[in-house]
Amino acid sequence: MRYVTAGESHGRALVAIVSDVPAGVPLDAAAIDRDLARRQHGYGRGGRMAIERDAVQILSGVRFGRTIGSPVALVIANRDWDQWLDVMAVSGEPNPRARVTAPRPGHADLAGVLRIGADDVRDVLERASARETAARVAAGAVAKSLLAELGVRVVSFVTRIGGVALETEPDPREVDQSAVDGSPVRCPDEGVSAAMQAEIDAARADGESLGGVFVVAAVGVVPGLGGYAEAGQRLDARIGSAILSIPAIKGVEIGDGFASASRPGSAVHDSILYEEGRGIVRPTNRAGGIEGGMTNGEPVVVRAAMKPIPTLMRPLPSVDLDTMKPVDAAKERSDVCAVPAAAVVAEAELAMVLADAYQDAFGRRSVAEMREALERFRDGLPR
């Protein structure tokens, strides 16, 4: 299973096409809309989220609530498009006064115009905007629904915003996702949530933006997904690539990741034990559910670092690309912090990688075929 998206931030709509979808996956627009709403919410979001009420239209690939094995096309209209007709029209002449010529440090603006030879930064920023991630969340909902049919649940929570961090991370098996979603910053601890919101308030007052860290995890995953024999099979590489493809993600670790580098081997690797009736058990999950490029049957635990949003209300120095004279970087309406939203996008990305890995292992054609093969595999595991 894979997806492709199209659409600009202030264009008419965002589009996702999900291909290689097995037949029989339950899919209804309301379930996708719930994830779209989770992505929109979050303390620290800007004015745009007050305008949009993201809602998906399923154009193809679904009959009477189930996929039929053909590509699923999804559309999310941009409500704000009405206000941008003069700037984002498909035909006619652009308004020269609407040009953007002061690239924002940290955004795609500068490298993008150098790449395509544009004389208006808007040609780049419209597509580079993280608005595109709404389409990813819609696509990921298809993967999540398949995974749910196979007993896999994907969860996420925020562990750091700026200088405020959650000291002890919960075991993903015990995370109550609706309680997490009840926190305005999607953090499982109420006290830390409140401190994170205060951090965001202070940043907003200061014309600043903030990044952070989140965990995205999959629970109920069978061992052996991915592969050790070929670079392209390795699941950690596939997950790393997918998570790093989310705008503003600058670091990814699996399990204890960077902390493992400073510990001796005996304090890093997870012992292998056997318990009658339960089979093989692992008393710890420092590996984050992945060994040798494969799932090992423990929850897959991924942590990602998001940089602060590049649009600053107190802008950094830039140059005007027309004159090459120093100017303040462009200011656009923006978010102060979007870490809670990025975690929801990461659920979609992780789900898409895992759905594809399940298809590699158990068949690509239908949920029924996949379920049967999965049962056979499970029956063969040591008990």
**Contacts to ligand EPS by CB under 6 A:** 9, 46, 48, 80, 107, 129-131, 133-134, 309-311, 332-335
Whichever of 210 and 218 has its CB closer to ligand EPS, that residue is 210
| Least separation in angstroms between CB 9 and ligand EPS | 5
Whichever of 110 and 175 has its CB closer to ligand EPS, that residue is 110
Whichever of 166 and 338 has its CB closer to ligand EPS, that residue is 338
Whichever of 132 and 236 has its CB closer to ligand EPS, that residue is 132
| Least separation in angstroms between CB 296 and ligand EPS | 34
Whichever of 134 and 166 has its CB closer to ligand EPS, that residue is 134
Helices (H) and strands (E) in the chain, counts: 12, 18
| Least separation in angstroms between CB 5 and ligand EPS | 13
Whichever of 135 and 221 has its CB closer to ligand EPS, that residue is 135
Phi/psi at 262 (5° precision): -105, 5
| Least separation in angstroms between CB 362 and ligand EPS | 34
**Helix or strand holding residue 80 (H, E):** none
Burial class (CB in 10 A: 0-12, 13-18, 19+), 92: exposed
Q: What gap in Å lies between CA 330 and CA 346, rounded to an integer?
A: 28
| Least separation in angstroms between CB 307 and ligand EPS | 11
| Least separation in angstroms between CB 106 and ligand EPS | 9
Give one DSSP letter per residue of 196-214, joined into a string: HHHHHHHHHHTT----EEE
In the chain, at which residue ranges do the beta strands (DSSP E only) sit? Answer: 2-6, 13-19, 23-26, 56-58, 62-63, 66-68, 72-77, 153-161, 164-165, 212-219, 249-254, 273-275, 279-281, 290-291, 294-295, 300-306, 317-319, 326-328
